[in-house]
Amino acid sequence: MKTTTIAIAAVSLLQLASAHPFKALHRHLHRHEKKDVVVTVVETDYAQPSEEPEVIVYVNQDGTPASTTTSYLADAPVTSATPTPTPVAEPTISVTPFLVASQPEDVAKPSSSSSALAYTAPVVPTAVASSLAAPPQTSSSAPSTSSSSSSEASGFGFSYSPYNSDNSCKTQDQVNTDFAKIGSGYALVRTYGTDCNQVATVLSAAKSKGLKLFAGIFDLASLNTEVATIVSAANGDWSSFDTISVGNELVDTGVASAATVVAAINTARGLLKAAGYTGKVVTVDTLVAAKANPTICDNSDYCAVNSHPFYDGNTVAEDSGSFLTKSISDLQAVLANKNQEIVITETGWPWQGETNDKAVPSPANQAAALSSIKTAFASKPGGVILFTAFNDMWKKNSAAQFKAEQYWGFLGNCPSG
């Protein structure tokens, strides 16, 4: 077996653009800062850039490019609580043959933003809080799907990230404090990775509120390890797990090909089944990526897509629900199984940020968007996961994301800090 040691350095913008020439709608980053590292790669001759610029092309819901901008990847949390790090030597990793080379997580601690630490969000308006307390009573037709549902219980899903504003990990007590603020009308919580012991801490908090867990595997290069972490947290009891996702927007961002993701889905499904898990296994990607690569849906137990009306630019907040139902109809047309269930695994509206043509961030518009979405999915609330419960102050705002990345929390700042 050939083993090659590669020093990974930044690639040019031109190289990255050729790797993935368009960006679909929106990308909420859950990525660790990349420094120059050394990676041991098995049976491969290429590697991912160590510090990635992203070429973002904003498109409408039909996939037509509208405008282009360039940004750099945001920081994501790591397990250390030290706010300002010194880069450290990186251990080598072995990548299984079907996977692309990738740096492991927790390379170095991102520096904290003083403005983020000092930030205090305004009190969530009454209109927002009341609209999120329970599903609307308005009768409305949900998108056509199969009879199965991604959630056994009746209620919407919401996403949650267990990170403090300084990028440190939240404790079990902190997670419990956050979940105490979650009202009724919800059945599922989505997480994105296995770092920070989050599978165990969020699972415990979810069980206390009768919620199911949508757990996520973040990095295909550590697939086996992340599966093992999930198996350990389950401890033989899978009753509170609804779905396990293998990657988030990997095809859309050019991190992995559709074929690589499909292979990872099958590998994870086999490992999980051997551990007693018989629930749903999917990959999550953007609406545009799924339409262009329907095999990622065809090989998932349901089609899981992130879709944000705000990034369409031609959609006002109160039309968010109809934007999503039309998007689902368009996507179903390209699937091998036209009756396959489609779940919107991320959608919402920011309450602060820069205007994107007709899409205007504000507390009132956030309330209008979420009300519209809940009305559209009133008969099938398990078909949508709202992004996100609390503001993500650990992220960095960027012009490419209309400086709104921190401000999607429909319940304001995390009670635990």
* 292 phi and psi angles, rounded to 5 deg: -80, -25
* Strands 38-42 and 241-248, sheet pairing: unpaired
Active site residue 226: no
CA 412 from centroid of its chain's CA atoms:
19
Q: How many other CB atoms are there within 10 angstroms of residue 97's CB atom?
A: 9
- Candidates 33, 52, 226, 346; catalytic one: 346
SS3 string of the chain?
Answer: CCEEEEECCCCCHHHHHHHCCCCCCCCCCCCCCCCCCEEEEECCCCCCCCCCEEEEEEECCCCCEEEEEEEECCCCCCCCCCCCCCCCCCCCCCCCCCCCCCCCCCCCCCCCCHHHHHCCCCCCCHHHHHHCCCCCCCCCCCCCCCCCCCCCCCCEEEECCCECCCCCECCHHHHHHHHCCCCCCEEEEECCCCHHHHHHHHHHHHHHCCCEEEEEECCHHHHHHHHHHHHHHHCCCCCCEEEEEEEECCCCCCCCCHHHHHHHHHHHHHHHHHCCCCCEEEEEEEHHHHHHCCHHHHCCCCEEEECCHHHHCCCCHHHHHHHHHHHHHHHHCCCCCCCCCEEEEEECCCCCCCCECCECCCHHHHHHHHHHHHHHCCCCHHHEEECCCCCCCCCCCCHHHCCCCCCCCCCCCCCCC
**Distance between CA atoms of 416 and 257, rounded to whole angstroms?**
38
Both tokens of residue 1? 């077996």
Active site residues: 346
